[in-house]
């Protein structure tokens, strides 16, 4: 199990504005900036946006996502009832991820020269301490849908419009609305210093776990 980071006891104090002046989502975003950049700098994330990206490399990235989500998504959502997030049942992209992986399995199997099987990283599950912590974890996953629109455009331009990318297409045209609804609920629920601290912990741990998975 991944344990919470040890350097976050002063999370709220490290934010340079008071809780009266800024929302929970902005505090979490500010606190996790370095962790977010660390994830974007991983080998797989750099590969994904490269002009030299190959189909097997893309396939490998999706399989890493599958390893991570298979371990962590259900525990995160199990900690969130409809009171914690009313539209929780409408979220999640694992079915789309499985569709993309299966389509790429077939595409690669048809190639004359097949690339060697990539080794998957050893991913440890995140310990979910409470609903506020889980909301912080989900903040990272739902936030990733916004950047995924740019990734989708790159994939379609780099390969062709037939490349399977439903996972990165997220909620399609509804992606901005889904993110807005999430942030609205996130900010309305997390109003105390304690709850925001828990969300910060969850978000930072999620970024660090994903960084390990994609390096």
121-136 per-position pLDDT tens digit: 788 899 999 999 999 9
Cα torsion 67, 136, 198, 29: sign: positive
Rounded to whole angstroms, how far apart are CA atoms 117 and 48? 18
pLDDT number for residue 54: 92
Burial class of residue 21 (count of CB atoms within 10 Å of its CB; 0-12, 13-18, 19+): exposed
Architecture field, domain 22-214: Up-down Bundle (1.20)
List, for residues 54-72, the tens digit of each pLDDT value. Answer: 999 999 999 999 999 999 9
Rounded to whole angstroms, how far apart are CA atoms 151 and 165? 9
The interaxial angle of helices 131-158 and 175-189, nearest 10 deg, is 160
Q: Per-domain residue ranges for the chain?
A: 22-214
* One pLDDT digit (tens) per residue for the chain, 215 residues: 444 444 555 555 555 445 556 899 999 999 999 999 999 999 999 999 999 999 999 999 999 999 999 999 999 999 998 888 999 999 999 999 999 999 999 888 776 555 556 677 788 899 999 999 999 999 999 999 999 999 999 999 999 878 999 999 999 999 999 999 999 999 999 999 999 999 999 999 999 999 999 99
pLDDT number for residue 2: 46
- Centre a 10 Å sphere on the Cβ of residue 14 and count the other Cβ atoms it contains: 13
Rounded to whole angstroms, how far apart are CA atoms 170 and 4? 28
pLDDT number for residue 67: 95
DSSP for 29-82 reads: HHHTHHHHHHHHTSHHHHHHT-TT--HHHHHHHHHHHHHHHHHHHHHHHHT--T
pLDDT number for residue 16: 40
Q: Closest Cα to residue 104, out of 53, 173, 52?
A: 53
């Amino acid at each position: 199990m991944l344990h919470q980071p040890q350097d976050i006891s002063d999370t709220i104090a490290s934010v340079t504005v008071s809780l009266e002046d800024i929302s929970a989502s902005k505090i979490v975003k500010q606190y996790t900036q370095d962790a977010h950049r660390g994830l974007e700098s991983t080998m797989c994330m750099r590969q994904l946006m490269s002009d030299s990206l190959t189909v097997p490399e893309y396939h490998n990235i999706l399989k890493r996502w599958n390893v991570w989500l298979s371990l962590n998504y259900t525990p995160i959502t199990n900690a969130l009832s409809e009171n914690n997030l009313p539209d929780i049942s409408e979220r999640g992209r694992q079915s789309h991820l499985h569709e993309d992986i299966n389509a790429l399995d077939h595409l690669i199997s048809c190639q004359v020269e097949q690339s060697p099987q990539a080794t998957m990283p050893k991913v440890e599950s995140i310990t979910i301490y409470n609903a506020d912590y889980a909301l912080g974890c989900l903040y990272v996953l739902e936030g990733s849908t916004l950047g995924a629109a740019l990734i989708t455009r790159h994939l379609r331009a780099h390969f062709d419009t037939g490349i399977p990318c439903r996972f990165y297409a997220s909620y399609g045209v509804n992606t901005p609305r889904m993110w807005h609804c999430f942030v609205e609920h996130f900010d309305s629920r997390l109003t105390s210093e304690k709850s925001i601290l828990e969300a910060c912990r969850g978000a930072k741990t999620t970024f660090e776990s994903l960084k390990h998975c994609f390096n």
